[in-house]
């Protein structure tokens, strides 16, 4: 069995293309019917195959990608409202609700926690590096890199 | 009593390129990216569903750790593809293979049914290679 003749290679390629389409176009209003049409599947067949490969329906996967991307955008310094629209949500309340349900923190608390961690990293970077690595690199010879005390 | 592996190294030639490969192509999660002075940073990633294992993308360059001759030898060996860094598991090897291939990952062996299960081999941007195998590698008919 080689790469070109494993079972149902054409099905795999279509489903993977659909997944990559979602990865790239998560911020757009994605119509899953259109994706299944482009993949030459019936909607039902497409959803079943997608779920069997990725463990999520295409819609569940789209939500997952949007939430993952929103974490990245928050870390890049965008406000919660900006992130909401950057990842394709039309309502701030539905974005915040889904984010909280999936991540376990509201977007604003997630952002606050991240900023606090960054502040600690900037103040005492060596507190985040195993001591053996710091020693091997000679990083702890720099007096600015002291262990965090708080 | 040892409980688990928490930090391990992948020696890479260029950290920027390795970041792109592991985060943007393989989909690993960035854990730390902390500047440690000029031209040096603490860069670690984790497999998507294994947040408690940090892989240090460890740059091989002339430094306190690597004298010039050592660094040059190590870089040459990495580029030659001498170092296997381990086995990465996925839910569906054929879908993962097609996706990584679409993202430009170089496979040195496509998914092949071996006596021990189905396996593919790919290289990272430096030259290190990994085995890719499905989670349940004894079910040879595990396809869609």
Find chain A residues with C-beta within 8 A of B63's C-beta: 137
Cβ-defined contact of A49 to B91 (cutoff 8 Å) = no
**Which of the four pLDDT bands, split at 50, 70 and 90, describes residue A136?**
confident
**Is pLDDT at A28 greater than 80 in this prediction?**
yes
Smallest Cβ–Cβ distance between A11 and the set B32, B36, B144 belongs to B144
Q: According to the model, what pLDDT value does residue A10 have? A: 85
Cβ-defined contact of A12 to B42 (cutoff 8 Å) = no
For residue B12, the SS3 value is strand
Q: What residue in A sits closest to B108 (Cα-Cα)?
A: A3
Q: What is the helix (H) or strand (E) element at residue B29, kind and residue range?
A: strand B29-35
| CATH match for B7-134 among 2.40.128.20, 3.10.180.10, 3.30.360.10, 3.20.20.70 | 3.10.180.10
pLDDT tens column, A114-124: 999 999 999 99
Structure token digits, residue B41? 């940073």
pLDDT tens column, B51-95: 999 999 999 998 888 999 999 999 999 999 999 999 999 999 999
Cβ-defined contact of A15 to B144 (cutoff 8 Å) = yes
Q: What residue in B sits closest to A139 (Cα-Cα)?
A: B36
Find chain B residues with C-beta within 8 A of A49's C-beta: 144
- Where b means 16+ CB within 10 Å and e means fewer, B85-112 reads beeebbebbbbbbbbbbeeebebeebbe
B107 lies within 8 A of chain A by CB? yes
Q: According to the model, what pLDDT value does residue B139 have? A: 58
Smallest Cβ–Cβ distance between A53 and the set B63, B118, B144 belongs to B144
Task: For chain A, give the secondary structure using H, E and C.
Answer: CCCCCCCCHHHHHHHHHHHHHHHHHCCCCCCHHHHHHHCCCCHHHHHHHHHHHHCCCHHHHHHHHHHHHHHHHHHCCCCHHHHHHHCCCCCHHHHHHHHHHHHCCCHHHHHHHHHHHHHHHHHCHHHHCCHHHHHHHCHHHCCCCCCCCC
Interface test with B, best of A14, A15, A65 (most B CBs within 10 A): A15
For residue B50, the SS3 value is coil
**Is pLDDT at A146 greater than 80 in this prediction?**
no
| Class for the domain spanning A9-104 | mainly alpha
Smallest Cβ–Cβ distance between B94 and the set A6, A136, A142 belongs to A6
Domain ranges of chain B: 7-134
**Which of the four pLDDT bands, split at 50, 70 and 90, describes residue B140?**
low
B5 lies within 8 A of chain A by CB? no
pLDDT tens column, A59-85: 999 999 999 999 999 999 999 999 999
Global pTM value:
0.89
Query: What is the residue-averaged pLDDT of chain A?
Result: 87
Q: What is the helix (H) or strand (E) element at residue B43, kind and residue range?
A: strand B41-46
Cβ-defined contact of B111 to A6 (cutoff 8 Å) = yes
B144 lies within 8 A of chain A by CB? yes
Domain ranges of chain A: 9-104, 106-150
Distance to chain B for A72, nearest Cα, Å: 10
């Amino acid at each position: 069995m080689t790469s070109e003749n494993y079972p149902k290679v054409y099905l795999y390629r279509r489903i993977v293309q659909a997944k990559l389409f979602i990865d790239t176009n998560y911020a757009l209003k994605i119509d899953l019917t259109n994706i299944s049409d482009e993949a030459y599947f019936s909607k039902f067949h497409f959803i079943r195959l997608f779920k069997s490969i990725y463990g999520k329906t295409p819609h569940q996967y789209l939500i997952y990608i949007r939430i993952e991307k929103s974490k990245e955008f928050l870390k890049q310094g965008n406000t919660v409202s900006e992130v909401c629209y950057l990842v394709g949500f039309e309502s701030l309340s539905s974005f915040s609700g889904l984010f909280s349900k999936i991540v376990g923190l509201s977007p604003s608390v997630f952002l606050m926690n991240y900023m606090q961690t960054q502040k600690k990293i900037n103040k005492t970077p060596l507190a985040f590096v195993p001591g053996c690595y710091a020693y091997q690199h000679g990083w702890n010879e720099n007096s600015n890199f002291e262990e965090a005390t708080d | 009593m040892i409980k688990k592996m928490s930090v391990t190294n992948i020696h890479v030639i260029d950290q920027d390129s390795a970041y792109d490969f592991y985060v943007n192509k393989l989909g690993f999660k960035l854990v730390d990216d902390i500047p440690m002075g000029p031209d040096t940073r603490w860069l670690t990633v984790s497999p998507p569903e294994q947040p408690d294992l940090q892989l240090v993308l460890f740059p091989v360059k002339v430094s306190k750790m690597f004298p010039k001759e050592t660094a040059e030898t190590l870089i040459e060996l990495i580029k030659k593809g001498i170092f296997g860094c381990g086995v990465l598991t996925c839910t569906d090897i054929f879908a993962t293979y097609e996706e990584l291939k679409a993202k430009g990952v170089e496979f040195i062996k496509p998914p092949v049914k071996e006596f021990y299960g189905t396996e593919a081999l790919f290289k990272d941007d430096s030259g290190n290679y990994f085995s890719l195998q499905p989670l349940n590698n004894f079910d040879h008919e595990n396809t869609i």
